[in-house]
Structure 1
Amino acid sequence: MLSAGPPRPTVGIRDVAALARVSPTTVSNVLSGNRPVSSATRERVEWAIEQLGYRPNLSARNLRLRQGGLIAVAVPEIDVPYFAELIGHVVQDARERGYTVLVDQTNGRLEAERFVLSGMNPGMVDGIIFSPLGIQRAEFETRRDTTPLVLLGERITGAGLDHVAIDNVAAVADATGYLIQQGHRRIAAIGHQDPRGGGTAPQRTEGYRQALDRARIPYDAALVVHTKKYHRRDGAVATAELLDRGVDVDAIFAYNDLLALGAIHTLHERGLRVPEDVAVIGMDDIDDGRYSTPTLSTVAPDKPTIARTALDLLLDRMAGEPQAPRQIVIPHTLVVRNST
């Protein structure tokens, strides 16, 4: 019979610190990601962790913090590619920090969003990353639940909460301005909606109008098409509506990539070439756009940075860090592909 041998000694955070020649606090900062650490120091700590086979005692950490290691991400629609890709980044980043992610879909319904705002049952999760759609600013301002909460998407001013977003006005102005630089003058905007909550659509419409104003191109309401949702079908129907009304259009800015893909579908069905007859640009840089025909020009928000920043802010709040609410604007990039 083989002997199991003596028990393997437990490797602790101090052992890692000694091997890496840093303090235990520095090792904790590398593991949690809550404090900046130089790349050289991080590499030494990660090397020491690998050499020693160290595994963080997450149960002990959560017990000290009176946390269960579970955070929630609440978004309007899980099957929308932008949110699916963003959630994937949050899940990966959270796992590396020892947290499990619960995903909730609100469909933009007020009762579902109010459930999120109330903490999703007291004590169920340690913190929440929340992308609201329909809830009004006043409800954030009068919130009583103390579960740490970080907002994504459009800014809800005065809410007193941490918030992460791109500058929608500037992003759309960049996209529309690019179309203008390419010589387009009859640029349709597909996806406007009446204001709800923080208001994605009005901000994007504002960016569109700013670009026209800068180029001294008159705003034409006939070129702006409302959509109920931001799905492929909505983009296809909106483009068909434009063409059926006989609106002269030489380019389309779609308020997201799904609308843009739907627009391209209708243009092809009507015998119009993209981009020769009508150029099309979207927003979100979803993976589908890299493989559409033609490939889709778009505005790319930095989704990995959005996810990491939201998680940083949330973990700070969960650790009880006393700070004023932070409003973080994440950079965007104009990605030019074949559709323009």
Structure 2
Amino acid sequence: MAGTRLKDVAERAGGVSIKTVSNVVRGNVRVAEPTRRRVLDAIDELDYRPNASARHLRTGRSGVIALAVPELVAPYFAELATAVIEAAREHDVSVLIEDTGGDPAAELRVACGLSDPLIDGVLLSPIRLDQATLAHRERRVPLVLLGERDFEVPADHVLIDNVLAAEEATAHLLASGRRRVAAIGFQSDPLFTTSHQRARGYLRALEAAGLPHVPELTPLVPAFTRTHGMHAMRELLALPEPPDAVFCFSDLLASGAVRGVYDAGRTVPGDVAVIGFDDIEDTRFAVPSLSTIAPDKRQLAKLAVDSLLTRIAGDPEAPHTTLYAPYRLVARESTARDAGNRTGGT
């Protein structure tokens, strides 16, 4: 019903207070269940819809933030988005999800607040936006960066230590006695910071073990997809001396790599041990189950949301911070030492 107000809902619900109606609309669990049910029935009968514009005029904030990721279809970003929504809900904040497709113009549009005055702030995971463009964005909406970009811009940044995590993943393979350890995920584009940081960790682990970097064991991939992981593994297995282990810079690459091993008539981990990165849900159900680096997505989301809301409510010129979320190495069947040749397939 056009023009329906909180007062109208309060009267229809049997004379409850406007504050009670507001608490129900905002999901406040402290409202008694019988009262909450009457208010919800009144909302349905009157077809009441909260007016975000009115809230914005009254408080200066809409209670809406934006989360922008390169590709929502990627399992990692889908799981991260879910964690961000859950973290925002704890603060009675809604999340607008934006898929940038990795397009720098789309990433800049998001960084400027989507040209929407009702967006209080933005969480952005950029992959193609360069530092100079981001530093000179026109609209200074509160911004928190997610991911591995090495940015020196006025924005808080939440990430995990990718270099150290990649070093631990490679060291895990070396600790199982593997010595010809390949890596799938190297990229030449300087903007692909995720690849470069994980490459540094891989190379650091080799150096610590006294092993040289063998370029033929680090094929370039254009993207972190299953298909590119499979093709890269086929290339590695065609070498005169193929690898006995592979660190993949994402679980999607690792999934494709395992398929490549299987198609070649070999086994994981019997012939080739494989470890991934991201701990997406599929890794636990694959055959063999996939060893991986597991970022704490819930903590990453909490740090990001809390940081953004603090920035929205506080001094926009306060010093910006870099926050690190924890991660852990999850060892599963794909790197098991005692698996022999008994585990194959994908």
Give TM class, smaller chain: 0.7 to 0.9
Equivalent position of 1:26 in the other structure: none
Match of 1:335 among 324, 330, 334: 330
| Structure 2: distance between partners of 1:138 and 1:103 | 25
Q: In terms of mean alpha carbon deviation, does 92-101 or 303-312 score higher?
A: 92-101
Q: CA deviation at 1:144?
A: 2.9
- Listed one character per residue, the Cα deviations across residues 109-163 of structure 1 (whole Å, up to 9, x for unaligned) are 1221121222211414111100000111112222231111110001433112100
Give yes or no for contact 1:70–1:102 (8 Å, CA) kept in 2. Answer: yes
- Asked if 1:94 corresponds to 2:88, the answer is yes
Q: What displacement does 1:105 show?
A: 1.1
Give the aligned partner of residue 343 of structure 2. Answer: none
Tell me the equivalent position of 2:137. Answer: 143
SS in 1 for 2:219: strand
| Counterpart-to-counterpart distance in 2, 1:315 and 1:166 | 20
Distance of 1:58 and 1:156 partners within structure 2: 39
Name the counterpart of 2:319. Answer: 324
Partner of 2:78: 84
Q: Distance in 2 between matches of 1:228 and 1:50?
A: 55
1:312 aligns with 2:306: yes
Q: Give the corresponding residue for 2:164.
A: 170
Q: TM-score, normalised to structure 2's length? A: 0.82
Aligned residue for 1:194?
Answer: 188
Distance 1:49 1:321 in 2: 33
Q: CA deviation at 1:298?
A: 0.1
User: Could you say if the C-alpha distance between residues 177 and 53 of structure 1 is closer, same or farther in structure 2, counting changes exceeding 3 Å?
Assistant: farther
Q: Percent identity?
A: 41
Structure 2 counterpart of 1:269, from 263, 280, 303: 263
Alignment partner of 1:250 is 2:244: yes
Letter in 2 for 1:329: Y
Structure 1 residues 173 and 227, CA gap change in structure 2 (3 angstroms): same
Q: Distance in 2 between matches of 1:142 and 1:246?
A: 51
- Checking the alignment, whether the CA contact within 8 Å between 2:56 and 2:118 is kept in structure 1 is no
Cα 1:301–1:271 change in 2 (3 A) is same
Task: Name the SS of the counterpart of 1:173 in structure 2.
Answer: helix
The one-character-per-residue Cα deviations of 1:17-68 (angstroms, maximum 9, x if unpaired) are: xxxxxxxxxxxxxx9xxxxxxxxxxxxxx9966699799x996865443222
Would the aligned equivalents of 2:293 and 2:330 in 1 still touch at CA under 8 Å? yes
Once residues 114 and 301 of structure 1 are traced to their aligned partners in structure 2, the CA distance between those partners, rounded to angstroms, is 26
Give the structure 1 partner of residue 199 of structure 2. 205
For 2:76, what is the secondary structure of its paired residue? Answer: helix
Structure 2 residue aligned with 1:20? none
CA distance in 1, matches of 2:144, 2:237: 42
Contact 2:145–2:158, Cα closer than 8 Å, also in 1: yes
Mapped to 2, the partners of 1:160 and 1:218 lie a distance apart of: 39
Query: 2:209 aligned with 1:215, yes or no?
Result: yes
* RMSD of Structure 2 on Structure 1 (CA): 2.6
- Using the alignment, how far apart are the partners of 1:103 and 1:71 within structure 2? 9
8 Å contact kept, 1:168–1:203? yes
Partner of 1:23: none
Q: Deviations over 1:170-210 (max 9, x none)?
A: 00000001111111110110011124436111110000000
| Whole-angstrom distance in 1 between the partners of 2:303 and 2:235 | 40
Which SS does the other structure have where 2:304 is aligned? helix
The change in CA–CA distance for 1:108 and 1:5 in structure 2 (over 3 A counts) is closer
Tell me, yes or no, if the aligned pair for 1:65 and 1:319 is still in contact at 8 Å. Answer: no
Match for residue 341 of structure 2? none
Q: State the alpha-carbon separation in 1 of the partners of residues 310 and 51 from structure 2.
A: 17
Task: Tell me the secondary structure at the aligned position of residue 72 of structure 1.
Answer: strand
The farther-off stretch of 163-172 and 196-205 is 196-205
- Matches of 1:62 and 1:53, distance apart in 2: 27
Q: Match of 1:260?
A: 254
One of 137, 151, 154 as aligned partner of 1:157 = 151
C-alpha distance in structure 2 between counterparts of 1:166 and 1:152, whole Å: 9
Give, in angstroms, the shift of residue 259 of structure 1: 0.3
CA distance in 2, matches of 1:7, 1:148: 40
In 1, distance between residues paired with 2:161 and 2:302?
17
Output the CA distance in 2 between the equivalents of 1:329 and 1:230: 23
Corresponding pairs, count:
307
Aligned to 1:118: 112
| 1:335, distance to aligned residue in structure 2 (A) | 0.2
